Amino acid sequence: MLKGRFAWIALNLIPNITPNLMRRLCEVFVTVENIFKASLNELLTVPGINSGIASSIFNFQESEIEKEIKEAEKHCLKIITLMDEEYPLNLKTIADPPPVLYVKGELKKEDKFSIAIVGSRQATLYGLECSQHFAKELAGLGFTIVSGFARGIDTWAHKGALQAKGRTIAVLGSGFNFIYPQENMALLEEIILNGGAVISEFPCNSRPLSFNFPRRNRIISGLSLGVLVVEAAKKSGALITANLALEQNREVFCIPGRQDSFTSRGTNTLIKEGAKLVLDIDDILEELPVDLKV
């Protein structure tokens, strides 16, 4: 019988099951262990659980966990669940925390002092320089810089933190067998060598599918005290992250850009709607409670 953290790992391996569906299942069956004891008919009473998902849960084989643990070991990953002490404190507070995290590197208690930096994959030189500059300054003060490992703003945010010899956490939208983008493999290794972490909620064989990335974004904001949006078009993943941050009661900061710049339309709109305009690092620090400053 599946117990404890192994039951969480098993549930996370079920195809097409989202964190919201996991939460509903736990509400109905009280414990994650009870989910795997339920009959097909009982599983089908849960809103959003279709016959395919119910069948996958009912017919789950424990050997799948053994395979997944071996895959994780191949990449030197820790598998952390909501039950574990190492689970990030900030992330526990959101409405739909990922029940399982695959972690390469090390998470630390001081990561509760994290700031996310996100923005466009097709950033301008101005945006890239801002991302790097603010990441370097914040990391130099002791903040952990969180970003999404994507091309553009995310990559330069990670690099800025590393330049300051600071901590940075990269959140993937895929499993570790399909690192994306591939050209950032050297950056991944540099993050680990400098004491940071690369994490994913997705099982090792999960591909970087487009619908994974909005789901990933709630982890970026959830890990952080606030989100700094550097450049973002009107429809972009960075704006999704900003909206998730607001839902999670996180601060949202924006660097303004040219009014005729495609990559600044989103950030300028966020400022117009009430996000904090940022010209220098003090604009961020003054919004954080005094007892949370590092």
CB 144 within 8 A of CB 171: no
What is the pLDDT averaged over residues 101-129? 95
Common-topology check for domains 4-60 and 105-292: no
**% the chain with pLDDT above 90:** 82
H or E stretch at 117: strand 114-118
- Supply the Cα-derived Rg of the chain in whole angstroms: 19
CA 15 to mean position of chain CA atoms:
19
CB 179 within 8 A of CB 172: yes
Pick the CATH number of 105-292 from 3.40.50.450, 3.30.43.10, 1.10.760.10, 3.40.190.10: 3.40.50.450
Rounded-to-integer distance, Cα 192 and Cα 45, Å: 44
CB 167 within 8 A of CB 108: yes
pLDDT in tens, 81-93: 998 999 999 999 9
What is the per-residue pLDDT for 293?
43
Place of tokens 């603010």: 134
**Per-domain residue ranges for the chain?**
4-60, 105-292
Residue 27: exposure state from Cβ atoms within 10 A (0-12, 13-18, ≥19): exposed
What is the per-residue pLDDT for 1?
62
- What is the CATH T-level fold of the domain 4-60, as seen in this structure? DNA polymerase; domain 1 (1.10.150)
The model carries a pTM of 0.93
Confidence tier at 254 by pLDDT (50, 70, 90): very high
What is the pLDDT averaged over residues 102-106? 97
